[in-house]
Chain A
Amino acid sequence: MAMISVEGLSKTYRVANKQPGLVGTLRHALRRQTTDVAAVADVSFRIEPGEMVGFLGGNGAGKTTTLKMLSGLIHPSAGRVEVAGHTPQRRQAPFLRQITLVMGQKQQLLWDLPPRDSLRLNAAVYGIDDREAERRIGELAAMLELGDELNRPVRKLSLGERMKAELLAALLHRPAVLFLDEPTLGLDVNAQARVRQFLAEYNQRFGATVLLTSHYMADITALCPRVLLIHQGRLFYDGSLAALSARLAPCREVRLELTTILPASSLERFGTIEALEGRTVRLLIRRDQLTARVGELLAALPVADLEVRDPPIDELIGTLLQQGVIG
């Protein structure tokens, strides 16, 4: 029996559109015009217990909205959703005890008190007996490498320590389903790695089902064998990450500022052109060919400035759509 089962899930918002300026204000006051914006449109998937699934998509793609619908915070406009055998939006106590939602940058720990106080409170709310709670805290703290931080007020912790403490608090009641929304947002590289390691260990040890959204490709590649690709509210891909990566081919984005304007033809041999605007060029170059190509670039072209980074998800999806890989 699937742990999470979603069918035709949609969420539409009615948004007022108001034109700027005085005329717009008057018109808006007299007769409101609204448009329906679909944050999530007709999404369906099933997730089995113990799976680690990644939700990939750019900003505003609908990942967070979907996650909130799965946890019961937002009511769907259409479709069916069932998590751990319950209807999430009814928010019944047995359901709530089985799930947890962690949102990066938003917190549930009490700000002025040490995490231990919030943990004590959570233990009482979830009905975990104090001794058992202590044991679990010890176990999770060891996995997260948290020690004395639990006794310092939350406002005095660094962002990384705070996130780890949030995770601890969110997992104290050993939920069967974890919803994680951008859990590594804003963390430094080390903290990100630590959190990823922890999540992998947690999934292995306790067999929890994990649904993770991120717009960092690295989070997904490290943790999720299966990905769901969401773009503009629609599900474009549901399958193994390996298969997707193979088709996408791990690329890096190279941004060039040239000293003169060059035609596309002279640039095409170095990589796939993502964008060409006057003297600024963005190329996608495969990782294994990166060093060689960049060397060639610098030798052959009049380069004023060069920057190498991971291509943003939106671009990747755009490329995928173009290539006809998805959609």
Chain B
Amino acid sequence: MRRGLRIARVLLSTQYALMLEYRAEIALWSLSGVVPLLMLGLWSQSEAGQALGLGATGLSRYFLAAFVVRQFTVVWVIHAFEEDALQGRLSPLLLQPLQPLWRYVAAHLAEQLTRLPFLAAIVAVVMLVHPQAAWWPSPGALLLTALFTWLGFAVNFLLQTSITMLCFWSERASALDRLLFFPYLALSGLLAPLEAFPPGVRSLALATPFAYQVAIPARLLAGEPVAIGPALAVLGAWLALLLPLCLILWRAGVRRYGAMGA
């Protein structure tokens, strides 16, 4: 246990040092996440937006929260892993007594930490331009947001890692990840608040992992009501499905890697 904590600490600090070397790119990735702010502009001006009944403040808070939350649930393990496998960096990792997937988790967490100053800057600018939207969430809301953001991240990470493992069998597997991007755009709440969805679509979204990557944590952060129980149940179900799947695929994938000539 102590060894595990020590590895976690050193791994995170090493990855953080590494991410700092890439802060220019990371700043740009943070910037490329501003789409919710553009959508805020659209929704607040539109007739459909007025009809939602959230009010200008409600919309502002939601989309600003969506912007923040999204920075912490985005997952890029498929690109990093494929790059490592291509460059021959995977083999040495397999020979160390540490499950290589933990390195990617640490890389993601370190990258999120590196993004923090940039996204704080963007949030500050938005609040300066729209001071009426500014708010500070209650401690309870913050805690719940943190919990659901990490759960959303975990589900996303496991999903993408499972797809990444499929790449050992076919390089076309990465197309699956690309294709999942489209339902994610439609259903995650990045481009429209859940209230705007027709009821059937809303239920669908809440059954998929997508809504939990933006919509649910964003609502919690913005202080809107969320049915915690059902949300936890759905997330729990997805985790129960994806965690074993991911581990099985990992083991099979490594065996395949070995069979093909590492």
Contact = CB atoms under 8 A, between A and B. Distances in A.
A binds B: yes
A63 to B, nearest CB: 14
B258 A99 contact: no
B97 A125 contact: yes
Contacts of B91: 68, 73, 101, 103, 106
B11 A124 contact: yes
Interface in A93-151: 93, 96-97, 99-101, 103, 106-108, 110, 112-113, 117-118, 120-127
B14 A121 contact: yes
A97 B97 contact: yes
A27 interface: no
Contact of A113 (B11, B21, B95, B259): B21
Interface stretch (B2-10, B26-34, B158-166): B2-10
A74 interface: yes
Contacts of B258: 72-75, 89
A182 to B, nearest CB: 13
A118 B95 CA distance: 15
A73 B258 CA distance: 5
Interface in B238-262: 255, 258-262
- In which size bucket is the chain B interface? 20 to 34
Interface in B4-24: 6-7, 9-11, 14, 17-18, 21-22
B96 A122 contact: yes
Give the interface centre of B6, B94, B258, B259 by most chain A CB atoms within 10 Å: B258
A124 to B, nearest CB: 4
A125 B96 contact: yes
Interface residues of A, number: 34
A38 B96 CA distance: 28
Contact of B14 (A74, A106, A113): A113
A121 B10 contact: yes
Give the interface centre of B7, B9, B96, B259 by most chain A CB atoms within 10 Å: B96
Given A73-B95, A127-B3, A108 B14 contact: no
A60 to B, nearest CB: 12
A124 B92 contact: no
A228 B6 CA distance: 42
Interface string B142-168: 000000000000000000000000000
Contact of B94 (A73, A106, A113, A123): A73
Contact of B95 (A65, A72, A123): A72
A206 interface: no
Given A75-B255, A112-B18, A113-B17, A124 B262 contact: no
A75 B259 CA distance: 5
Given A117-B17, A120-B14, A13 B261 contact: yes
